[in-house]
Amino acid sequence: EGVLTQSPGTLSLPPGERATLSCRASQSVGHGYLIWYQQKPGQAPRLLIFGTSSRATGIPDRFSGSGSGTDFTLTISRLEPEDSAVYYCQQYGSSPLYIFGQGTKLEIK
- The site for other proteins (CB under 8 A) is made up of 1, 32-33, 35, 37, 39, 44-47, 50-51, 56, 86, 88, 90, 92-93, 95-103
Closer Cβ to other proteins, 26 or 92, answer by number: 92
Task: Give the shortest CB-19-to-other proteins separation in angstroms.
Answer: 19
Is there a contact between 93 and 33 (Cβ–Cβ < 8 Å)?
A: yes
Task: Give the shortest CB-1-to-other proteins separation in angstroms.
Answer: 7
- Residue 60 contacts by C-beta under 8 Å, 6 or more apart in sequence? none
Provide Rg for the chain, Cα atoms: 13
Task: Give the shortest CB-14-to-other proteins separation in angstroms.
Answer: 26
Q: Does the bond joining 41 to the residue before it have cis omega, within 30 degrees of 0?
A: no
Closer Cβ to other proteins, 18 or 102, answer by number: 102
Nearest CA to 4 out of 28, 39, 20 is that of 28
